[in-house]
Structure 1
Amino acid sequence: MNSHFGGITLVGYYGYDNLGDDLLLLSSLSLIEEAGYRGKVYIPAKSGISRPLESVSFKMQVEVIPRFSFGGIMSALKRSSLVIFGGGNLFQDETSSRSFNYYHYIAKRSLKNGSKLLLLSQGFGQIKKRSNFERLKSILGHPQTYSLLRDRVSARYNSFFSSNAYSGTDYGPYVLFRQQLIPPCERKKSGIAVVVLKNGTPASRVISILEEKGIKSIAAIGFHNNHDNVKKEELEAFARKRGLEVLSPQRDWRSLVSLFSDAEIVISERLHGVILALTLGVPFVWRSSKKNDRFVESIDSSLKLSYDRTGNGLEEKVALAMESNICPLRDRYVEELEVTASNCKELISRLLARE
C-alpha cells in the first residue's frame, strides 16, 4: 500500500502524559502500520506526545499538529482520505461540553470533506445533553462512518444507527505484544500492590486492607498527573504512616508496565489500570462505573470483583482476587484482543483501498 492512497489523521486524547492514552496511541499506530500503510499520519496532540512517540519506531512518517491549531487540523483533514479516532471515550460531555464539541467538530468536518471516519476501540458516554445525543447519532449514522467498539453495549448502541458498527475489545495493550513485553501468566508473591485512584475511594482504607493482606510495598500511580496527583499523594502519605515502602517508578510507559507486571494485586478506578492488570496476568479489583463494568462484563459477565465509591466490599473483593487464578481470564482477553486487532487491520486496509 502506498502513500498516494491519501493520508491518515489519527485523533485521540494524546500528549497528556496519560498511560492509558499513550498505549492507545502506540497501539493505533502499530495497527495502522501492520495494515500495510506507509504514508503520512497526522496527529493533533499536546507536546507531551513526543515521549511515547520516541519510544517506539514506525516506518510511517508521523506529523504532530498542535492540538488546538484548528488551521493545522483542517489542513491535515483535507490531506486525509481516512480519519481514525484511536481509542478512548472521546464522545462524552461528563468532563465538559468543550471536549465533546472538539471531537464532534473533527468528525463532522472529516465527513464533510468526503473522508471516511473510523472509530476504533471507542466507548460512548457519559452524555448528559440531549442535543449532544442527536449530534452523535448524526455522526454514527453517516454512511462513511465505520466503528469497531471496545464493548458490547457501545456496539449495540451504534448498531441502532448504522450497519457499519462492529463489536471488539479495548486494544490499548496491543503494543505490548508487538514489543514482546508480555510475561508468562503466573501467580506472584511479590508483596507489591499497584493502586490507581482518582477520587472517592478512601485512601486510608485501601492501605489498611492491603497491609492486612501482607502487602509490603505500594505504588500509587496517577494515569493523568493533574487529575490523580492529589489521591496519589494521599495514598503515599498513609502508606508511609503504616511503615510500608512507597515505590516511585519513572513516568515512562515501559517503567510503569514493568511495575504493573511485578504486582501481586492491582486496585484501579481507571479503566486502563484494569486492562493493563488483566493483560499482564495480575489479579485486580475495580471501582464500579459504567465504563469499567462494561469492559469487564464484555470479557466475563460472571466476574464480581468491583466495589463502590465508598469502598464497600473492597476488603472481600481484594481477598477473592488475590486467591483467584486470573490466567484463564487473561487468555480469554488475549484471544479477543487478537481478533479485534485483526479486524482493525482489515478495516483500515479495506477503507484505504477504496480510494
Structure 2
Amino acid sequence: MMRITLSGYYGFNNAGDDAVCESIIAALAKEMPEADLTLLSNAPADSRARFGVEAVNRWQVRGVLGALLKSDLLISGGGSLLQDVTSKRGFIYYLAVIALARLCRVPVLVYSQGVGPLTDGLNRRLTAAVLNRTQAITVRDRTSRLLLKEMGVRVPVLIAADPVLAYEGTGGRPVRTLLAQAGIYEADKLVICAPRPWQGVDRVKAFSEGLDVLARQGYKVALLPMQPEADMALCQAIAGHMTERAYVLEGDYPLNELFSLMKAADLVIAMRLHALIIGAVCDCALLGLPYDPKVTAFMQRVGGGELLPLEKMTPSSLADGAQAALAKGACAPKRVATLKGLAHLPAALAKKIIKGRQ
C-alpha cells in the first residue's frame, strides 16, 4: 500500500482550491490506483464526503503527525501556498508541514505550485532553507521557477502546469439543470464572470456597467462566486446594480459541474485564476483581470485571451476588453494540449519517488 498525505488550502469552500485537490486526487489515482490518500483539511468531514478520501484536521498536530508517520510521501500543493501577500500565517503553516515531514523522514514533493510573491527577506530565506530539503519541486509557471532559483533553492525545479488542466472527469447534473436553478432557461449567448474583492477597492460600478453592455448585446450574464464567503456579496451587489438582468450562480458545484457550466459559456471574465483555467480547457474566450501575478502568468502561458489590469478597469475598458476577447476566441488548442500533458507530470514523479523509497 502506498500512503500519501496531501497538504494544501483544502476544506475552505474555495472552488479553485477544491478543483486543485480533486484534480490531484484524480491524477494520483490514475498513476497509482492502489494509493491511500489523506488530506490535511480545515473541514475533515466535508473533505471526506466531497473527495472520497481520508482527511484529518490540519490544525491538530497529533493528527497531522500521525498521518505523516504512516506516509510514503507528502505532497505540498498545488495552488499558491508559498506567498506572503494574502496570508503570512498560511505561508508559515505550509513550510512547517514540509519541515515536519522531513523531520519524520518522509519525502516531499512540491506539486505544481505557483510560488510568490514573497516580499519579506526572512520569508525568502526560510523558503529556500525548507525547500532545499525536499525531494522534488514542480511549479506551474516559469516565474515561480525563476523566483526559487533567485532565492537559492538548489533542488531541481521542473515546470509543470496547474493540476486542473489535467482533469478529465465527467458526469454531474446536466448543464440545463444547473443554469435553470439560477433562473437561466435560454443561454445561446452566455458570459460567466468570476470576480473577487481585492484591496478594499469598490469595483461594483465598473463590473455592473461593463456587464450591462454585454447584456444589451444579447448575452446572459452569470456571476460565479468561486469562494462564496468572500465573493458572494460582491456578486450579488454587481447583479443588483445592473440595469439589465443578471444571474448569480449560487450552487455548490463539484469540479465536473464547473466544467459543464464553462462549456456552456462563450466568454469567461475572471479575477479568479481557476475560472480562467477551466474556461481555457472548455474553449471559452477569456478576459483575465490580474489581481495577482499568477493570473498574468497563466494567461501568457496559455497564449490566448485578453488581460485588463485592475487599475485600468472602467465600465468602458471592461466592455471593450470583453469584445476583444470574443473576437480573439478560444485559446490555441496546441497550447492547451501541451499544458494538459505537463499537468500529468507531478503525479508520475510522485510514483517514482515512492517506488524509489520502497
Q: Into which bin does the TM-score normalised by the smaller protein fall?
A: 0.7 to 0.9
Does the 8 A contact of 1:16 with 1:48 survive in 2? no
1:298 is displaced (CA, Å) by: 2.3
5+ long unaligned stretches in structure 1: 184-188
The aligned residue for residue 119 of structure 1 is 110
2:24 to 19, 23, 28: 28
Name 2:147's counterpart in structure 1: 157
Partner of 1:295: 298
1:265 shift after superposition: 1.6
Superposition deviation, residue 310 in structure 1: 4.7
Shift of 1:116: 1.1
Q: 1:170 to 1:98 in 2, by over 3 A?
A: same
1:132 aligns to 2:123 (yes or no): yes
One-letter identity of the residue aligned with 2:24: S
Change (3 A) 1:115 1:84: same
Change in Cα spacing, 1:246 to 1:303, as seen in structure 2 (3 Å) is: closer
C-alpha distance in 2, partners of 1:97/1:209? 34
Which of 313, 321, 327 is matched with 1:323 structurally?
327
Relative distance call for 1:259 and 1:346 in structure 2 (3 A) is closer
Letter in 2 for 1:66: N
Gaps of 5+ in 2: 176-186
Q: Is the 8 A contact 1:250 1:256 kept in 2?
A: no
Compare 36-45 and 111-120 and name the one that shifted more.
36-45
How far apart in 2 are the matches of 1:228 and 1:48? Answer: 23
User: C-alpha distance in 2, partners of 1:49/1:124?
Assistant: 29
CA distance in 1, matches of 2:331, 2:79: 26
Please state if 1:167 is matched with 2:165: no
| Range moving further from structure 2, 110-119 or 253-262 | 253-262
Instruction: Look up the match of 2:184.
Output: none
Q: CA deviation at 1:162?
A: 2.4
Return the letter of the residue paired with 1:223. Answer: M
Q: Secondary structure at the match of 2:288?
A: strand
Return the offset for 1:140.
Answer: 2.1
Cα distance 1:41–1:124, how it changes in 2: closer, same or farther (>3 A)? same
Choose 68-77 or 163-172, whichever is displaced more: 163-172
- Give the superposition deviation at 1:201: 6.7
Conserved? CA contact 2:143–2:297, under 8 Å: yes
CA deviation string 1:7-58 (max 9, x = no partner): 211111111111111111111111211222513211111227736x54666x
Letter in 1 for 2:190: I
Q: Which moved more, 1:41-50 or 1:88-97?
A: 41-50
Identity among equivalent positions (%) equals: 20
- Mapped to 2, the partners of 1:112 and 1:56 lie a distance apart of 28
Note if contact 2:306-2:325 (Cα within 8 Å) is conserved in structure 1. no
Mapping for residues 98-113 of structure 1, pairs under 5 Å: 98-113=89-104
Classify the secondary structure of the residue corresponding to 1:354.
helix
Q: Which letter does structure 1 place at the counterpart of 2:244?
A: G
Q: Does 1:335 align with 2:325?
A: no
State the Cα distance separating 1:284 from its structure 2 match: 1.4
| Deviation for aligned residue 1:134 | 0.7
Q: Name the amino acid aligned to 1:197.
A: P
CA distance in 1, matches of 2:15, 2:165: 10
Q: Return the alpha-carbon distance in structure 2 between the equivalents of residues 88 and 49 of structure 1.
A: 22
Q: 1:55 to 1:78 in 2, by over 3 A?
A: closer
1:141 equivalent to 2:132? Answer: yes
Closer, same or farther: CA 178–230 of 1 in aligned 2, 3 Å: closer
Q: How many angstroms does 1:261 deviate by?
A: 1.9
Q: 1:259 aligns with which of 242, 258, 261?
A: 261
Cα drift, residue 97 of structure 1: 2.0
Letter in 2 for 1:274: L
Which string of whole-angstrom CA distances, capped at 9 and with x for unpartnered residues, describes residues 80-138 of structure 1?
12100131001122123211111111011111221111011201112232211111001
Secondary structure of 1:263's match?
Answer: coil
Contact 1:108-1:139 at 8 Å conserved across structures: yes
Q: Is the 8 A contact 1:92 1:100 kept in 2?
A: yes
Q: Does residue 1:243 correspond to 2:244, yes or no?
A: yes
219-228 or 198-207, larger mean C-alpha shift = 198-207
Query: Is 1:14 aligned to residue 10 of structure 2?
Result: yes
- 1:172-230 per-residue CA deviation (whole Å, 9 max, x = no partner) reads 2423x24379x9xxxxx833221111124722332323332314422211111222122
**Whole-Å separation in 2 of the counterparts to 1:56 and 1:112:** 28
What is the CA–CA distance in structure 1 between the aligned matches of 2:37 and 2:171, rounded to whole Å? Answer: 24
Give the secondary structure class of the aligned counterpart of 2:76: strand
Partners of 1:284 and 1:321 within 8 A in 2: yes
Matched residue SS, 2:112? strand
